[in-house]
Amino acid sequence: MPLPRPLHPRYWGFHLLALLLVATAVGLGLWQLDAWQTRRTAEAVDLTRVDPIPLDDALGPDDPFPSDMVGQPVIVDGTWLDRGTLYVSGREQDGEDGYWVVTPLAVGAADGPALLVVRGWSKTVEDAPPPPTGKAELVAWLQPTEGSGRPDDDPNDDVLPELRVADALQKADRDLYGGYGVVADDVAEGPWPSGDKAVNDGTDGLTPATLDQLPSAGRFTAVRNLLYAIEWWIFGLFAGFIWWRWVRDEVLLEREGLPGSLTT
């Protein structure tokens, strides 16, 4: 008994191609789904209440910002720089609009790379106290540089619409870490190098800054992974549908004694 036309060896390559396309789409969809779930899990982890760790254990001066260190309390030991203080607009405190006051802190040696430190919040730039001087030791919540693309209306002043390391480089005249720290006003006990509290953390005269003053974190990246997964599965379903339609049409054509659609 002859084989049905769709099972003829000449069509095996077509079947294999359809199987490969469907399997690839399913696999890529599962990969994107796993990435989505991983990002959701990372977003759900609150590091702000864990014990602080040394800055160098979380982020090096030339390292890209690690995605699993957002909000990690770090111990920073260094020297305040006398230039490069910036003010980040659009930060609310108890319903009032104001500014973050940001000063670079040279980590380790006085001529070493600096970490941008959010010392606190001020209602106006004029009300902000002058930058601190001398040695400092503090705990800060580590944050990645911001950058949603908001334009700076006046690049010549010291006010920024977002805390972008690239913009701060021009003011600090110093290599900067690829992230910044928000002085933590409430952290768990940690391995302090020189005691049980911060020294010269630069917050005198400022209202403590809090992480809820950060711009709303975009969820698009995680959602995008989920959408990619759905797109791949739709592609797999489409490839499977095309294969099924071809098989059905070949069977019908064979019953009517007509040549197949792939017959040359």
Burial of residue 102, with CB atoms counted within 10 A of its CB: 0-12 exposed, 13-18 middle, 19 or more buried = buried
Q: How far apart are CA 256 and CA 246, in angstroms?
A: 15
Average pLDDT over residues 58-81: 90
* Residues pairing with 53 in the sheet: 74
Between the CA of residue 223 and those of 33, 106, 218, what are the distances in Å?
10, 38, 10
Q: Which two tokens stand for residue 232?
A: 């791949």
Residue scoring higher pLDDT (216 or 241): 241
3-state secondary structure of 181: strand
Mean pLDDT of the chain: 82
pLDDT for res 114: 95
Question: For the chain, what percent of residues have pLDDT higher than 90?
Answer: 34
pLDDT for res 41: 56
Kindly provide the residue ranges of all beta strands, DSSP E only, lying in 32-107, ordered along the sequence: 53-54, 73-80, 86-93, 96-107
Residue scoring higher pLDDT (210 or 232): 232
Q: How far apart are CA 228 and CA 43, in angstroms?
A: 19
Instruction: Give kind and range of the element (H or E) at residue 143.
Output: strand 135-144
Phi, psi of 135 (to 5 degrees): -70, 155
Residue scoring higher pLDDT (67 or 47): 67
Considering the entire predicted model, what is its pTM? 0.64
Per-residue pLDDT of 164-222, as tens digits, reads 888 888 878 789 999 999 998 755 444 445 455 567 888 899 999 887 776 554 444 56
Q: Which of 39, 34, 38 is nearest to 229 (CA)?
A: 34
pLDDT for res 218: 46
Question: For the chain, what percent of residues have pLDDT higher than 70?
Answer: 80
pLDDT for res 164: 86
pLDDT for res 217: 46
Q: How far apart are CA 190 and CA 137, in angstroms?
A: 13
Residues in the chain, overall count: 264
